[in-house]
Amino acid sequence: MNTGQVISGIGHAGLIGWILFGGTFQSEPLPFEVTEVSVISTDAFEALLTNGPTPDAATNAALPVQPDVTPDPIETPVPDEVVEVQPPAPSPAPDPDPLPEPPLPEPEPEVADDAPVQPAPQEQAVLAPEIAPRPVPRAAERVAPEPVAPPTPEAAPADVQQDAVTPDAEADTPAPVEEQDATAPEEATTEIVTEAEEPSGAPTASLRPPARRPSAPAPPTETAAAPAPAPTADVDDAVRQALEGGGETDVPQGPPLSAGEKDALRVAVSSCWNVGSLSSAALLTTVVVAVDMTQDAKPVIASIRMLSSSGGSEQAARQAFEAARRAIIRCTRDGYGLPVEKYGQWKEIEMTFNPERMRIK
Amino acid sequence: MMCRIVCMVVALTVALIQMPAAVTAQNGPLRIEITEGVIEPLPVAIPDLVAETPGSAEMGQQLSRVIAADLVGTGLFRELPASAFISQITDFGAPVQYADWKAINAQALVTGAVTVSGNQVTVKFRLHDVFSGAELGDGLQFAGTTDGWRRIAHKVADVVYSRITGEGGYFDSRVVFVSESGPKAQRRKRLAVMDYDGANVQYLTGSEAIVLAPRFSATGDRVLYTSYETGFPRIYVLDVGSVQRRVLESQQGVMSFAPRFSPDGRTVVYSLSQGSNTDIYAMDIASGAARRLTSGPAIETAPSYSPDGAQIVFESDRSGTQQLYVMPSGGGEARRISFGEGRYGTPVWSPRGDLIAFTKQSKGRFHIGVMRTDGSEERLLTASFLDEGPTWSPNGRVIMFARETQGAAGRSTLYSVDITGRNLRPVRTPDGGSDPSWGPLQR
């Protein structure tokens, strides 16, 4: 029996007990007032309503006595003298303003042919961090009578200090002593330089943004003497450059492809990867196919090659590769839509075609 | 504590060793993995074969139609209509304008030419991979008689199918079956043989006696079947070329049925019923010596060899219900491979050796299904009022079976289905058909 049932039982028992035995404690009825009423007829009641309530009982209170007051006559003020009223005289007209002098001829602006050159700023604006880094306690510098240059980067403080040992030429019996170098003293300075004395990296001043300058007049158009070079977007050139590795310096590297861009490429190839005509053996074969890409995101067909295969025979791998090659070529009429600014990231692609999820279940 | 420190040091060392490799990988080519593809018919263009001799244009059209029907009938190819062609093939030796075929999304192109001289016909063809802009394999040439022009078309289709899918073809093959005609109560049955697509039906026996369960030999030159000619079921061997036959088992008072050749064609495995007991026997055809492979009170029948001839799958009710078992071809302990609900029967081993097709009866319906040879990965491919008698295509990709409709006017028809369960389609025959047995590719 849980606590709730116990509480409920006690409560109910109390309530029943109060109902049964509560009257014992209040056996006497509560006192109440009794008011006598009289019964009147309808006519009498209506008569009461029409005559108004008239108190039957006479009151001893004295009626208020009206005061005997005679009102005084109202006095009308009389003016002392009569004032003739005249219309107001018109105010004198103000003197007209003198005619303005004819405007002076506008000064001709002095326009230089050359655009003004803004002087180079003395200091470059430096973006200060919005949140200052939490100061880190700096290790106290070691102070020694003589400054010691810092050790080479690969040097590490030795645990045990040792003295330099050199063979003693004057010894009678020169014992074989192994030469050793003395332990280099730790890095030290001659004085303590506090952080307050160090130059701060925060900017001391910031330059105001330059005012917008009027654009310089456009130089006169010159007629090109030589014909413009032919566009170099020819596929063959791109293929040659891709295969020869030329133009590395012209290839925009850009950041790595985002997950969305990779997914878009994956979906594009997947939509053309038709495994319906593959044999069951080829459906067990995973092939890795490499392809070089042109800058307009089209595959170089001649560069499509199988790097490796696993899970099937050579014939099955060949069939799987043919299906993969068709997939790469089929859906690239307009290119794969890869960002050209990241060409360096996708100029060569390795695609792994894994048909594990496409097998006959 | 010490162990933890050592583990951390080892992990840090491994991470430092692998770090240069990771950095190098980021600088290498972009790598993606494709795991999802599409399953759709491959668009293929099959223009009429170029007529190189006068009067062979019609033959060129017929050949191209049969080639297209073979490929499209697999469900793996989709033929592009001729009205969509941008360029026409008028010269077999002229270079192919791949851009025109690529523009209509043809992924494969079959070009060919036909020469008819008297009753001789010669067909040469090439298969092109349109998107690669190159031929897929070398050109081939077939020659035969004008009567066998369909076989030439089937052979061309087999080559195209094989080069694209990587599997062997099955178009130039024949099927022996029981042709059924007449009403259900008075049905006449006779042995017949046809091309895989139902063409060229030829009858091997008359309809005087009931015939059952014809089975091709591995070479396709002989047929085993069961006949009630004497009132008792007996097994006969029929030579397809000469249509000569002989009784295989002549023991009186016993019933023998459900025969099947061994892969080497020297042995026949069959069921023999004596009294109320049915067991499986193997008989050497040359000597006639029979050997009992199973013994027991149960009914054991429908044996089928594995492709290597080492094992036999059969049906038995030794467990109380009809299930499938596998035993060595020489007899011995059998292991049960089917454990599902219902009754399993008529097992047939795939020519590839990886699957076993069977008939399953469950909850009032019949199914054709396949399972691994160990009984795993059971898949039901069909379902109807009555599906039974599966047989494998030579390449193990397609199953043919008989489907009978319900009612007094019910008719038995041959159907084929891909082992994926797709592409279920009837096989057009002049009459009804049942008990099909798919023969090997013809030579």
What are the sequence ranges of the domains in chain A? 258-355
* Assigned domain for B376 exists: yes
Same domain for B327 and B274: yes
Same domain for B398 and B266: yes
Same domain for B160 and B188: no
Name the domain boundary from B105, B133, B165. Answer: B165
pTM of the model: 0.65
CB contact under 8 A, A316 and B26: no
* Contact residues on chain B for A273, CB-CB shorter than 8 A: 34, 36-38
Same domain for B187 and B153: no
Interstrand relation of B30-34 and B425-426 (parallel, antiparallel or unpaired):
unpaired
Q: If you measure CA to CA, which chain A residue comes closest to B162?
A: A279
pLDDT one-digit tens code per residue, B151-164:
999 999 999 999 99
B420 Cβ under 8 Å from any chain A Cβ: yes
Of the pLDDT bands very low, low, confident and very high (cuts 50, 70, 90), residue A158 is low
Name the domain boundary from B165, B198, B225. Answer: B165
Q: What does the alpha-carbon distance between residue A192 and residue A52 come to, in Å, rounded to a whole number?
A: 113
* Assigned domain for B96 exists: yes
Residues near B41 by beta carbon (within 8 Å), at least 6 away in sequence: A276, A277, B72, B75, B76, B77, B78
Q: What does the alpha-carbon distance between residue A179 and residue A163 come to, in Å, rounded to a whole number?
A: 11
B379 Cβ under 8 Å from any chain A Cβ: yes
Min Cα distance B20 → chain A (Å) is 18
B55 Cβ under 8 Å from any chain A Cβ: no
* Assigned domain for B14 exists: no
Same domain for B131 and B262: no
CB contact under 8 A, B166 and A279: yes
Residue range(s) defining the domain that contains residue B122: 42-165
Number of domains composing chain B: 2
CB contact under 8 A, B35 and A262: no
Kindly tell me the burial class for residue A122, based on how many C-beta atoms sit within 10 Å of its own C-beta (0-12, 13-18, 19 or more).
Answer: exposed
pLDDT one-digit tens code per residue, B268-321:
999 998 878 899 999 999 888 999 999 988 999 999 999 999 999 999 999 999
In a 13 Å sphere around the CA of B227, the CA atoms on its Cβ side amount to 22
pLDDT one-digit tens code per residue, A300-347:
988 999 999 998 888 889 889 988 988 888 877 778 888 888 898 899
Three-state SS at B194: strand
* Assigned domain for B427 exists: yes
Same domain for B210 and B154: no
Percent of chain A, pLDDT > 70?
38
A258-355 topology per CATH = 3.30.1150
Same domain for B391 and B339: yes
CB contact under 8 A, B32 and A266: yes
* Contact residues on chain B for A313, CB-CB shorter than 8 A: none
Same domain for B358 and B331: yes
* Contact residues on chain A for B132, CB-CB shorter than 8 A: 301, 325-326, 329
* Contact residues on chain B for A339, CB-CB shorter than 8 A: none
* Assigned domain for B13 exists: no
Kindly report the CATH number assigned to the domain that includes residue B183: 2.120.10.30
Of the pLDDT bands very low, low, confident and very high (cuts 50, 70, 90), residue B55 is confident
**Residue of B132, B166, B397 with shortest CB distance to A325:** B132
Of the pLDDT bands very low, low, confident and very high (cuts 50, 70, 90), residue B359 is very high
Min Cα distance B74 → chain A (Å) is 9
Name the domain boundary from B165, B184, B212. Answer: B165
CB count within 10 Å of CB B438 equals: 24
Same domain for B242 and B141: no
**Residue of A269, A272, A276 with shortest CB distance to B39:** A276
* Assigned domain for B160 exists: yes
CB contact under 8 A, B34 and A290: no
Q: What is the ipTM of this complex?
A: 0.71
Min Cα distance A192 → chain B (Å) is 38
- What was the pLDDT predicted at A124? 46
* Assigned domain for B17 exists: no
Kindly report the CATH number assigned to the domain that includes residue B91: 3.40.50.10070
B378 Cβ under 8 Å from any chain A Cβ: no
Q: If you measure CA to CA, which chain B residue comes closest to A319?
A: B166
CB contact under 8 A, A275 and B37: yes
* Assigned domain for B93 exists: yes
Same domain for B180 and B112: no
